[in-house]
Amino acid sequence: MHAKPFRIGTVCLAALIPGMLIAVVLFLALYSWPAIQFNGVGFLFRTTWNLGNLYADPVMVRGMQVPIHAQYGILVFIVGTLATSAIALLIAIPVSLGVAIFIAEGAPPHLRPTLSLIVELLAVVPSVVYGLWGIAVLVPLIAHYIAPALNAVLGFIPFFAGGSPTGFGLLSASLVLTLMVVPIITATVYSALLQVARPDKEAAYALGAMKFEVAVRAMLPMVRGSIVGAVILGLGRALGETMAVLMVSGGAINYLPHTITTPISTMASFIVSQLDSAEQDPTGMAVRSLAEIALVLFIITVIVNVIARMITRGLHVGLASRA
Amino acid sequence: MQTRASETLLRRTFLLGTIGGTTLGLIALDPRQAAAANVTLLETGSSLLYPLFNLWVPKYTAMHPGLRITTQSTGSGTGIAQAVSGVAQIGASDAYMSFGQLKKSPGILNIPLAISAQTVNYNVPGLNDKNLKLSGPVLAGIYGGKITKWNDPEIVKINAGLTLPDHGITPIHRTDGSGDTFIFTQYLSFSTPAWGNGVGYGTTVSWPPVQGGIGAIGNPGMVQACGQTPHSIAYIGVSFHDQIAKAGLGTAPLQNRAGNFVLPTPATVGAAAGALEGKTPPDERISLIYAPGANSYPIINYEYAIVNSKQASPEIAAAVRDFLTWAVDPSGGNAPEFLDAVKFLPLTPKIADLSKRQIAKIG
């Protein structure tokens, strides 16, 4: 008798989350529908974003009222989003694993709680703080030291050549994202490493493994699932990060990055930077196109997550067949 | 009317989160709202007008107990949108509304409150105290990617006697929507037909790809980026004069319609305002950019209050009317004690009169 209301209650609460997800997607799709019709598939492949002349009379294009010269293409922002996140993860994953192993195994035991607390504190620093630090410290550092050094050492690869007169761009955005992602991955992996059973570690030592080998060859494979989960969490933060990226990315529009120091824009930061002007579009097409960016960002996030999950499954299968 | 308001609200709920909703909620929950004598107004919009409102509001509300005015710096586009949707009673904007926007929202007034100007600043080592001259076509060349070096013949030609470095130019533009971008690109459009027909003007434009050019957020971001990047150039609101001086940036005399190079001073800004005073229509939506006159500074503008002529209640309408009437009065908000701090100029008597006529329509 008593179980029933409880059961109904929990089912309702459980349904709330997928329900909200569907509601958000549905809203985005419905709201951006006129933009989807107007922009077509080219939306994803064009590099020109032009709100058009908001002060002239709107014109009819394909049966829709739009500002004259309006054209919306987001390839630049898709590339910016994926490139910053990829570079950030490329740096963050080894760093985070190293830090997590150090705190769990290398650090003196009485320091571990303090160190893990510091990592967790870093994970909750508001992104605008990272952005300010990026502008004040990182950007000049890149302009004066890092970009010239990259040019000197790796300049024979075009991607690293050219230096950076300003410091704003792909590299600064990626490094700020790295800093935001490292605490997330570190904290998750560290708590997983704590769960590794003592007999398992002792078995590895008994086989003659050094401390480093125990950590890398015995413990890390055991927490493989947690590592992938942590990376997905970090990736989610990197893909959707708005303010910090906006502040240090150089806000590029209409061209693709060709070196690691080229200014870029990401999808999330671009939505924020354009919203105020888009509000002035009397036809509303600009705001609807921004909603379409949000929809595309959502789809990309889902695809990336699915791929990551498939990789984990592949890992498990691969290991199983080896055994 | 109803559907437009709800559509705007829907947009806001989705894209700006709960900012608008929270504000509404706060106003609705305010217990003092219940008493008829007590009125709460919300001002939101232009970040250039925000410091001025923050000087005005404490002085004015001290004289009017029972009145509360909340100020927010959100951007001109948001100011216009929230004044239209009714979330804000006063929307602040550096740009006037277009015909298209007015057609969609009839009854919205564009009321000039003061006159502002914009400086073009540069950071060229050794030349920052030399007042390097620039013109509309040269700036259009720099921001369009055709003029890429400081010793380009086009720049050398108008700067006889200065030794310009053989160094690339970093043009800095605003990434966020901005009234400063609006008036800067208007100067380029009016002085250079190729820019006007191509990129055009707006609070955000589709900037041509320029090697090394970057975007910055807000006027503080412009000052910082220009200050820490040698050989860069930026356009910055005149209210930021002190920060510009502190960053050691150079200010360029700009070529006006008559062909003379002028720096922004009260005299040159006043000359430009005077030249277009007679052309200002009753609805006061006019660009003051590239004004005629030998001594006119070419980038000045009216700072607008965007107000719905139909307010929610007679009490709110009266409060908005009284406040704005005080704001545009030379013995009230247009007094030097307020405007000098933000480097704005007062409205000329004729324009103040036009503004007061518009304010009287608020009901």
Residues of A in contact with B95 (CB under 8 A): 280
- What is the rounded distance in angstroms from the CA atom of residue B8 to the CA atom of residue A284? 10
Cβ–Cβ < 8 Å for B29, B22: no
Model confidence at A3: pLDDT above 70? no
Q: Among residues 168-187 of chain B, which lie with CB inside 8 Å of chain A?
A: 168, 170, 173, 175-178
Residues of A in contact with B11 (CB under 8 A): 31, 287
Helices (H), chain B: 2-15, 19-29, 50-63, 76-85, 99-104, 136-144, 153-157, 179-191, 193-197, 218-228, 241-246, 266-277, 314-328, 336-342, 349-359
Site from B110, B206, B211 to mutate, A interface, most A CB atoms within 10 angstroms: B206
Instruction: Summarize pLDDT for B151-174 with one digit per residue, the tens.
Output: 999 999 999 999 999 999 999 999
Number of C-beta neighbours around residue B165 at 10 A: 15
Q: State whether residue B260 sits within 8 Å of chain A by CB.
A: no
Q: Do B228 and A139 touch (CB under 8 A)?
A: yes
Average pLDDT, chain A: 91
Which pLDDT band holds residue B1 (cuts at 50, 70, 90)?
Answer: very low
Cβ–Cβ < 8 Å for B212, A166: yes
Number of C-beta neighbours around residue A17 at 10 A: 9
List C-alpha distances in Å: A323 to A317, A319, B350: 10, 6, 89
Averaged over B144-149, what is the pLDDT? 96
ipTM for the predicted complex comes to: 0.87
Which carries the bigger pLDDT value, residue B54 or residue A165? B54
R_g of chain B, CA atoms, integer Å: 21
DSSP output for A95-132: HHHHHHHIIIIIS-GGGHHHHHHHHHHHHTS-HHHHHH
- What is the rounded distance in angstroms from the CA atom of residue B229 to the CA atom of residue B240? 18
**Distance of residue A120 Cα from the nearest chain B Cα, in angstroms:** 27
Instruction: Summarize pLDDT for B262-321 with one digit per residue, the tens.
Output: 999 999 999 999 999 999 999 999 999 999 999 999 999 999 999 999 999 999 999 999
- What is the rounded distance in angstroms from the CA atom of residue B107 to the CA atom of residue A119? 55
Q: Do A279 and B80 touch (CB under 8 A)?
A: yes
Q: Note the pTM of the prediction, 2 decimals.
A: 0.88
- What is the rounded distance in angstroms from the CA atom of residue A66 to the CA atom of residue A55? 12
Q: What is the pLDDT of residue B30?
A: 44
**Distance of residue B218 Cα from the nearest chain A Cα, in angstroms:** 10
Q: What is the pLDDT of residue A1?
A: 53
Instruction: Summarize pLDDT for B23-54 with one digit per residue, the tens.
Output: 444 444 444 343 346 899 999 999 899 999 99
At residue B69, the 3 state secondary structure works out as strand
